[in-house]
Chain A
Amino acid sequence: MPFGNTHNQLKMNYTAEQEYPDLSKHNNHMAKVLTLEMYANLRDKQTPSGFTVDDVIQTGVDNPGHPFIMTVGCVAGDEETYEVFKELLDPIIEDRHGGYKPTDKHKTDLNPDNLQGGDDLDPNYVLSSRVRTGRSIRGFCLPPHCSRGERRGIESLSVEALGALDGDLKGKYYALKDMTEEEQQQLIDDHFLFDKPVSPLLLASGMARDWPDGRGIWHNDNKTFLVWVNEEDHLRVISMQKGGNMKEVFNRFCTGLTKIEELFKEKGHEFMWNEHLGYVLTCPSNLGTGLRGGVHVKLPNVSKHEKFGEILKRLRLQKRGTGGVDTAAVGGVFDISNADRLGFSEVELVQMVVDGVKLLVEMEKRLEAGQSIDDLMPEQK
């Protein structure tokens, strides 16, 4: 369902100049790319489900951005958005994903055996390990655009598929709107519960409509494999556990994802994927693998080192506070994860995290002992 009347084709009675958004104070990828000419070319197009360029850019128009942080400023309403509005999205993808070209191919590799090491990160420093990604179900509109019927369809398909998981993946679904007080408190204590988004970046895209209808959380009995249904994407899949055994986390991640994909296929559904963009998700920043693999790690000394930022950059890693994106680190504990999503496979990205974190922990130990880390400085990956 379009948000606002952005799909209104009667606005074609006005000229492109009259409709073109005022982006003079904006600082996001969309604003950098969308010229009046491009807008004029795209404004009369829509995807088969009726998503228009104004629907794509609304969140970027409503949120001028931040002088220091470059947000994306657009979303997809369905799989076809990336095709119909190529002219706009390709340059944004290229800018956001390190020069990824419209002709590039993305490799998908979810074979956990290809990961080297990763089972021996020092648990004295690495407190927890986690890998997350997203998946979209082909044939359905994405959260900014889906109707209630579609959203419920996604929920029931997902619940059925997840219900068939067994072994250490066996678990239970908690619909947001049917949750009891106790269940809610338990999920909060486990740090599993997601709530209605408050970020205007998300709200402006229309993905929070009808909250909490069709939304829920599924997790296995061991609480190491978690799926969010109908939050920012159709599915967000998370594998996590305490300690530094990233290999085990990634193993479970790949096994779980592969099983879920099979179960969907049995029902005649598949995930949105193509060889150029990899897995297709709502936000262009999550294309490719949609994968963020990371750890919570104690780096009180390294983080104060003048070259910390440079080290992370060379390792292709990013830091966040342990509250997640936009939070500050507490007590020297950082969330360190891969910076890339597209153009590298899942195995490659998790490998970067494993190798990079190992190096950072070594650096931390050196600095603790008062030694230099100059010989440990990495090359740019």
Chain B
Amino acid sequence: MLDHGSRSQGQAGRQTWVMTWHLRGRGLAIRSASNPISWEDRQLHSQTVCFLTQPTVTEETLQMASSFAKMMSSRTTGLLMASLGAGAVATGYLLSDSAAISAEQRRKLYPPSADFPDLRKHNNCMASALTPAIYAKLRDRITPNNWTLDQCIQTGVDNPGHPFIKTVGMVAGDEESYEVFAEIFDPVIKDRHNGYDPKTMKHPTDLDASKIHSGVFDDHYVLSSRVRTGRSIRGLSLPPACSRSERREVERVTVQALAGLKGDLSGRYYSLTEMSEAEQQRLIDEHFLFDKPVSPLLTASGMARDWPDARGIWHNNEKTFLIWINEEDHTRVISMEKGGNMKRVFERFCRGLKQVETLIQERGWEFMWNEHLGYVLTCPSNLGTGLRAGVHVRLPKLSKDPRFGKILDNLRLQKRGTGGVDTAAVGDTFDISNLDRLGKSEVELVQLVIDGVNYLVECEKRLEKGQDIKIPAPIQHFKK
């Protein structure tokens, strides 16, 4: 999750979380090329591919996958294809003449086994879940917008990950990606979201801020409060995949809607291409400006193409409600203010979101949403609520207590430095926010943050007085 503050300061290293969701009852777009030697037939002919019939991802499958990948690198592709029993195809490959090979022919010359990525050194959710069998099944499918599996996973192939941090390793190109490639998105979503089962579970959406209680923190400790999420416009491809005109359409639709906001929400749009030097400097000083991503996790997905075309920032005159357009998602929505009034921040968040939704609906548009996935965003890690609610809070004593980490874990909270993800805390001030995104509603998550931060501040006060603190009982993941 990338903190707004960190992005505007140009911090590198964004954790892309992957989650997928399985949509029921929608058709799959399967490439209609006829293949004279079916993949299934080839399987029957060769020992080398027998493991592709494994229905589940097991330890054994993973080991075979890795030895398979090793084999790929040490044998000629032609030999391998011959062993697949695809004699005619292998011959065609080896003696390909100078005539141009069509995309269809290319698919036949290079079976999925030839294209399976080498994931031996990889540590991300995609690499843990992707087997040659799944890849073979999905490689030749396309979504209605022509998006493919290879495009979904490119970022995870290009970025092996970190031994300690498990990134997600894949993105969606459109709403349909989550369904068309469900066989890979589903296990990734479970891995990333505490076992949340896309096939059987429903995600609750609740943007009724009146349900929040105890939402005002002690200003002596809590310096600022913030809630962010993302929204995608249904019918338009997501940032990794969109064409320039689709991206411009997202901008147009959103800016038009935002122009209809009134009262404390009325504000102005600043397009990245047209911004003046003075405007740019002011937005940087206020920590609002986002810049072209530098993280290879993001650039490898294709979301930074054509920068800065159709990108921009909108904010209200009071500078408490801010929208990013066409950065990693169609829109990112941020409500924030100094001090500890999280309730007011969330109230404005919900009000603003609902008004924007009404305004786009008046013109026949809607957000991508469904009852299993919640709000659909580019990175599966942001599905569900896409919500990160957090505070900048001073915890000089608690942060030095050895129990600090465990307390946060049990409260389902995470800490970051005040520069955002991958930064260290400065002084004793931490960014504390919710860990989870999917399976709990917005109200539940914000309440969880409020309760958690109140607990942390209580601990800090107790430690100040020399009193002892307790590790709280762990919070349940999902309602059973």
Query: Contact residues of A with B, CB < 8 Å?
Result: 1-11, 14-15, 18-22, 47-50, 54, 58, 61-62, 78-80, 138-139, 141, 147-150, 152-153, 156-157, 160, 175, 177-178, 203-204, 208-211, 213, 267-270
Contact = CB atoms under 8 A, between A and B. Distances in A.
Given A5-B243, A209-B154, A10 B98 contact: no
Nearest to B242: A5
B118 A213 contact: yes
Contacts of B257: none
Contacts of A62: 304-307
Q: Which 5 pairs show the lowest CB-CB distances between chains A and B?
A: A149-B114, A149-B110, A4-B302, A14-B245, A18-B245
Interface in B58-98: 72-73, 75-78, 93-98
Interface string B233-262: 000010011111110100000000000000
Instruction: Point out which of B114, B116, B173, B244 has the most chain A C-beta atoms below 10 A from its C-beta.
Output: B244
A139 B306 contact: no
A50 B33 CA distance: 14
A138 B100 CA distance: 9
A147 B305 contact: no
B72 to A, nearest CB: 7
Interface string B122-152: 0000000000000000000000111110110
Given A210-B154, A210-B158, 16 more contacts: A4-B305, A5-B146, A5-B237, A10-B144, A10-B146, A11-B243, A21-B306, A47-B100, A49-B102, A141-B106, A147-B106, A147-B110, A147-B114, A148-B117, A152-B114, A209-B158
A267 B97 CA distance: 11
B158 A208 contact: yes
Nearest to B118: A213
18 contacts: A4-B305, A5-B146, A5-B173, A10-B144, A14-B243, A21-B306, A61-B306, A62-B304, A62-B305, A148-B114, A149-B114, A156-B78, A160-B76, A209-B157, A209-B300, A210-B154, A210-B157, A213-B157
Interface residues of B, number: 55
Contacts, number: 147
A213 B160 CA distance: 12
A175 to B, nearest CB: 7
B110 A267 contact: no
Nearest to A51: B103
A25 B144 CA distance: 34
B41 interface: no
Chain B interface main SS type: loop
Given A48-B102, A148-B114, A152-B114, A19 B245 contact: yes
B316 interface: no
Contacts of B150: 1, 147
A18 B248 contact: yes
Contacts of A157: 76
Given A150-B110, A178-B73, A49 B100 contact: yes
B409 interface: no
Instruction: Point out which of A62, A141, A175, A270 has the most chain B C-beta atoms below 10 A from its C-beta.
Output: A62
Contact of B106 (A4, A15, A49, A61): A49
Contacts of B300: 209
A57 to B, nearest CB: 10
A8 B154 contact: no
B296 to A, nearest CB: 9
Contacts of B306: 21-22, 58, 61-62
Contacts of B37: none
Contacts of A80: 100
Contacts of B173: 5
Contacts of B244: 18-21
Nearest to B107: A147
Instruction: Point out which of A79, A141, A152 has the most chain B C-beta atoms below 10 A from its C-beta.
Output: A152
Nearest to B159: A211
A3 B157 CA distance: 13
A47 to B, nearest CB: 7
B320 interface: no
A269 to B, nearest CB: 8
Contacts of B94: 267-268
Nearest to A268: B95
Instruction: Point out which of A18, A22, A153 has the most chain B C-beta atoms below 10 A from its C-beta.
Output: A153
B115 interface: yes
B273 interface: yes
B309 interface: yes
A42 B98 CA distance: 24
B101 interface: yes
B299 interface: yes
A54 B305 CA distance: 11
B117 A10 contact: no
A80 B103 CA distance: 13
Contact of A1 (B100, B151, B273): B151
Given A8-B243, A139-B96, A209-B157, A58 B101 contact: no
A161 to B, nearest CB: 12
